[in-house]
């Protein structure tokens, strides 16, 4: 073992991100079988060094942690500095207008006191507050189990979690949406008193919410102070509580019939808008799971660490996508991130990743951090007869049987080969 550096830790993260793009059965194949060398992971870091860093990486000082059983003990002390830093940063860089509150799950089958019993999805619960349009997670909390009694002990779990994560937005008049696990009249009233609007689905059998709408498309409502309860009859009864919508507002929606056809029926605006804005956390989860880092680990907090890294990457991609008009997909974004983190490790160059800018005329499909780096490794090889890429950019109809071994594009030996790799 020898001390690590900031540059090496960046490369360590880059390897994890790259392994999320090029999924391998296990880390050992990187050195045991040369066929996997095509992933470029062995060029970035050796297997032995990767395993050593994985064994010794820490996010906090264990000697400063409060022992278990004593007041102030934090079950997530191994990740607390990173969690606090992320939450602080997320609130500063992005301010959502409408938010959805939902839980995310980090799979983990090992033994840990913080893991929650969920027969279908075993692992950790992560409460997420996400933007309803983009899926950007602006605040999160990892649920580690029941806490000690406090002044808010009269609140249910769902109520205390929502109020805890939304306290930074008090008196901002934002709209917060959530499902039936969190919804209650008491929560709606408390949020309204704190300057927040809310809308949430509740079970139709909830006590005190009696009354039936007989035909499909019919609705009824009741109000109590600032809270409205709206019940709508679709194929099944649907009920929402809201402090934001006028319960008398009606709109139309398209609904499917049992025979597969669809028809337009009337619907309360509160129900229609609730259905429209729910899905922010699902958008985040879909992006995260597509290229998730998540490697198997016996250490419980490693799984959560991978989740936090993925959360930061997905949020960064969402911000880039919003500010640059969707000019790259998440795969290109993560690939560019790997190149940027691994600067100086023999595979990348400094400067702005070319995956994130529009391709220039004549070099379309070949990023600059591939085309202009380590030119000595770019050798001419024999290929089928094709149009020269450089000549095509100059409106010339020239064909060649030579191709660059790294860029994989056809080029004339002279002068196109040199020109292509130098400008």
Per-residue H/E/C for 119-147: CCCCEEEEEEEEECCCCCEEEEEEECCCC
Q: Is residue 149 located within the same domain as residue 271? A: yes
Is the per-residue pLDDT at 225 higher than 60? yes
Q: Three-class SS of residue 150?
A: coil
Average pLDDT (113-135) is 72
Average pLDDT (270-285) is 85
Q: Is residue 245 located within the same domain as residue 155? A: yes
Question: What pLDDT score does 302 carry?
Answer: 87
Residue 233 included in any domain:
yes
Q: Is residue 277 located within the same domain as residue 387? A: no
The alpha carbons of the chain give a radius of gyration, in whole angstroms, of: 27
CA nearest neighbour of 183 among 221, 143, 256, 240: 240
Residue written as token pair 């109590």: 224
Partners of residue 251 on adjacent β-strands: 267
Torsion of CA 277, 281, 287, 289, to 10 degrees: -150
Question: What pLDDT score does 360 carry?
Answer: 42
The pair phi, psi for residue 181, each rounded to 5°, is: -65, -35
Please give the residue that has the higher pLDDT: either 344 or 286.
Answer: 286
* Interatomic CA distance for residues 163 and 198, integer angstroms: 11
Question: What pLDDT score does 357 carry?
Answer: 42
Residue written as token pair 């994989």: 408
Q: Is residue 277 located within the same domain as residue 380? A: no
Residue 288 included in any domain:
no
Q: Is residue 152 located within the same domain as residue 276? A: yes
Please give the residue that has the higher pLDDT: either 134 or 117.
Answer: 134
Q: Is residue 267 located within the same domain as residue 381? A: no
Is the per-residue pLDDT at 210 higher than 90? no
Please give the residue that has the higher pLDDT: either 309 or 367.
Answer: 309
CA nearest neighbour of 28 among 6, 51, 8, 45: 51
Residue 165 included in any domain:
yes
pLDDT band at 152 (very low <50, low <70, confident <90, very high): low
Q: Is residue 257 located within the same domain as residue 364? A: no
Residue 79 included in any domain:
no
Could you tell me which residues come within 8 angstroms of residue 260 by beta carbon, excluding any fewer than 6 positions away?
A: none
Question: What pLDDT score does 121 carry?
Answer: 63
* Interatomic CA distance for residues 273 and 362, integer angstroms: 47
Q: Is residue 273 located within the same domain as residue 168? A: yes
Express each pLDDT in 125-146 by its tens digit: 888 888 888 889 989 988 877 6
Average pLDDT (92-115) is 72
Q: What is the pTM of this model?
A: 0.74
Picking from 86-90, 157-161, 307-311, 359-363, which range would have the lowest pLDDT averaged per residue? 359-363
Instruction: Show the tokens assigned to 417.
Output: 């080969």
Q: Is residue 270 located within the same domain as residue 364? A: no
pLDDT band at 230 (very low <50, low <70, confident <90, very high): confident
- Please give the C-alpha separations between residue 215 and each of 105, 246, 253, in angstroms, as whole numbers: 38, 22, 15
Quickly list DSSP for 73-106.
--TTTTTHHHHHHHHHHHHHH---SEEEEEEEEE
Express each pLDDT in 84-102 by its tens digit: 999 999 888 888 888 888 8
Domain end among 254, 282, 310: 282
pLDDT band at 369 (very low <50, low <70, confident <90, very high): low
Picking from 21-35, 37-51, 286-300, 347-361, which range would have the lowest pLDDT averaged per residue? 347-361
Q: Under a CB-based contact definition with an 8 Å cutoff, are residues 109 and 121 in contact? A: no
* Interatomic CA distance for residues 176 and 96, integer angstroms: 10
Angle at 57 between CA 335 and CA 34, to 5 degrees: 50
Residue 128 included in any domain:
yes
Residue 111 included in any domain:
yes
Question: What pLDDT score does 27 carry?
Answer: 63
Question: What pLDDT score does 151 carry?
Answer: 47
Q: Where are the beta strands (DSSP E) in 91-247?
A: 98-107, 123-131, 137-143, 175-178, 197-202, 219-224, 227-233, 237-242
Domain end among 222, 248, 282: 282
* Interatomic CA distance for residues 192 and 342, integer angstroms: 48
Is the per-residue pLDDT at 114 higher than 60? no
Residue 320 included in any domain:
no
Asked if the peptide bond before residue 399 counts as cis, ω within 30 degrees of 0, the response is no
Q: Note the maximum CA span of the chain.
A: 84
The number of domains in the chain is: 2
Question: What pLDDT score does 356 carry?
Answer: 42
Residue 327 included in any domain:
no
State the chain's mean pLDDT as an integer: 79
Asked if the peptide bond before residue 151 counts as cis, ω within 30 degrees of 0, the response is no
Residue written as token pair 């205390």: 160
Mark residue 97 as left, alpha or beta (left: phi above 0; alpha: psi -120 to 50; beta: remaining): alpha
Q: Is residue 227 located within the same domain as residue 365? A: no
Question: What pLDDT score does 26 carry?
Answer: 67
Express each pLDDT in 9-61 by its tens digit: 998 998 888 888 877 666 666 555 555 554 566 677 777 888 889 888 888 88
Question: What pLDDT score does 402 carry?
Answer: 92
* Interatomic CA distance for residues 216 and 264, integer angstroms: 11
Question: What pLDDT score does 24 carry?
Answer: 67
Where in the sequence is the domain holding 109, given as residue range(s)? Answer: 96-282
Percent of the chain with pLDDT over 70: 78
pLDDT band at 107 (very low <50, low <70, confident <90, very high): low
Express each pLDDT in 168-189 by its tens digit: 888 888 888 888 888 888 888 9
* Interatomic CA distance for residues 230 and 249, integer angstroms: 11
Q: Is residue 273 located within the same domain as residue 405? A: no
Domain end among 282, 310, 326: 282
CA nearest neighbour of 165 among 142, 132, 192: 142
Percent of the chain with pLDDT over 90: 8
């Amino acid at each position: 073992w020898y001390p690590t550096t900031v540059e090496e830790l960046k490369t360590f993260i880059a390897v994890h991100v790259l392994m999320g793009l090029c999924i391998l059965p296990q880390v050992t194949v990187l050195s045991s079988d040369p066929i996997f060398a095509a992933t470029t992971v062995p060029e970035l870091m050796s297997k032995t060094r990767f395993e050593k860093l994985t064994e010794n990486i820490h996010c906090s000082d264990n000697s400063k942690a409060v022992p278990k059983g004593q007041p102030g003990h934090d079950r997530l002390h191994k990740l607390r500095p990173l969690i606090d830093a992320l939450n602080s940063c997320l609130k500063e860089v992005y301010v959502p207008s409408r938010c959805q509150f939902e839980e995310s799950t980090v799979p983990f089958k090992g033994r840990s006191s913080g893991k929650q019993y969920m027969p279908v999805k075993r692992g950790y619960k992560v409460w997420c507050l996400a933007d309803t349009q983009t899926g950007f997670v602006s605040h999160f909390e990892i649920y580690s189990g029941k806490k000690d009694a406090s002044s808010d002990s009269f609140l249910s779990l769902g109520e205390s979690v929502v109020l805890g994560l939304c306290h930074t937005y008090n008196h901002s008049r934002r709209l917060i949406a959530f499902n039936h696990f969190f919804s209650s009249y008491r929560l709606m009233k408390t949020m309204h008193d704190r300057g927040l609007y809310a809308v949430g689905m509740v079970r139709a059998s909830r006590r005190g919410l009696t009354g039936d709408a007989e035909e499909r498309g019919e609705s009824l409502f009741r109000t109590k102070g600032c809270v409205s309860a709206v019940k709508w009859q679709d194929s099944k009864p649907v009920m929402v509580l809201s402090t934001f919508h006028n319960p008398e507002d009606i709109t139309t929606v398209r609904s499917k019939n049992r025979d597969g056809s669809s028809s337009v029926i009337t619907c309360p605006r509160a129900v229609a808008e609730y259905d429209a804005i729910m899905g922010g956390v699902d958008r985040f989860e879909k992006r995260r799971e597509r290229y998730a880092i998540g490697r198997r680990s016996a250490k419980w907090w490693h799984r959560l660490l991978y989740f936090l890294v993925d959360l930061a990457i997905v949020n960064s991609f969402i911000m880039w996508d919003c500010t640059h008009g969707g000019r790259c997909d998440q795969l290109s974004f993560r690939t560019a991130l790997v190149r940027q983190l691994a600067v100086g490790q023999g595979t990348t160059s400094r400067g702005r990743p070319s995956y994130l800018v529009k391709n220039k005329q004549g070099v379309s499909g070949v990023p600059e951090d591939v085309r202009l780096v380590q030119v000595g490794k770019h050798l001419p090889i024999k290929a089928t007869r094709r149009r020269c890429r450089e000549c095509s950019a100059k409106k010339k109809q020239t064909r060649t049987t030579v191709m660059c071994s790294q860029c994989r594009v056809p080029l004339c030996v002279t002068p196109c080969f040199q020109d292509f790799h130098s400008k």
